[in-house]
Amino acid sequence: MSNEVKVAVTGAYRQAFPRFVHVQPVPDQFFYGQCDGVRYAATRFQATSGATQEELVGMQDEGSVTKYFRATTGSGWSYLTSDAFPRGARGCGDVPAIPEALSAAWGNCAM
């Protein structure tokens, strides 16, 4: 997986949540894979330098849950959903939008 995927997924997150401009995926907590021609990604986000007070406060809640994204051939990345809070016992295995085979390969997104 290239850094381009992380940049594109971050862009999809910013588009879905425009109040979060100064964010990036949490290091070593980015999952990426493909099932039946559809690409999926999962990550948590953290504030970066330059974050506003509003972003920092908002990330206290938003940053604690994993976000899920998908992309198909010919389309860019789009935000699907977030974990429940508190997170389900099976991690991304509890997220219907993520194929079971992929969540198993990701170890249920154990972070």
State the average pLDDT over residues 72-99. Answer: 83
State the average pLDDT over residues 36-62. Answer: 90
pLDDT band of residue 109 (cuts 50, 70, 90) is confident
Nearest to 13 by CA among 57, 78, 58: 78
Predicted local confidence at residue 13, as pLDDT? 94
pLDDT band of residue 94 (cuts 50, 70, 90) is confident
Report the alpha-carbon distance of residue 95 to residue 79 in Å, rounded: 13
What is the phi-psi region of residue 62: left when phi exceeds 0, alpha when psi lies from -120 to 50, beta otherwise? alpha
Q: What is the pTM of this model?
A: 0.88
Predicted local confidence at residue 1, as pLDDT? 57
Report the alpha-carbon distance of residue 6 to residue 27 in Å, rounded: 11
